[in-house]
Amino acid sequence: MKAIKKISGDILLILYVLQRKRRTIEGESISFNRNMNDKDDLEYTEIGRILLSATNSRIADIYNVFNYLFEKRFINFDIIHDSENYTYTNIRVTANGTDIIEGIERGEKEKQEIHINFNIKLADSVNLESLIKNEVGSLIKASLI
């Protein structure tokens, strides 16, 4: 089982790529049923399908990752909840999220921040493009992003 921190790094990169590619992902939403056992709501949206693919359909991992990234202030979203579902809307990568991803090109301290927050060990020669390719490249090749 992958650690939540590692999955969080991958999902933050996915959201970053989506936001850069589309200009915004704020119109996107994802829904979780309270029992975390029904992926139909996640499969309803493109972003939900991408996240399911990135986590091997582990709904609880997606939910926990979103909360981790929100609490660390790497992403932001609005929460709507009712008796059956949690729906996250207006999803976006924050300035902190962008800083931690793009910061890897500044130096060792910034690379260490990625390792501390996401358990992603970076080579000295890594740049933004190679980070994305190495961490979420299979999703990009599968044309999900």
Residue 26: pLDDT band (50, 70, 90) is low
Sort residue 35 into left (φ over 0), alpha (ψ -120 to 50) or beta: alpha
Are 87 and 63 a contacting pair, CB within 8 Å? Answer: no
Comparing CA positions, the residue from 60, 70, 73, 66 lying closest to residue 99 is: 73
Sequence-separated (6 or more) residues with CB below 8 Å from residue 94:
73, 74, 75, 76
pTM, two decimals, is: 0.86
Residues 88-137 pLDDT 10s: 989 999 999 999 999 888 888 888 888 888 888 887 778 888 888 877 77
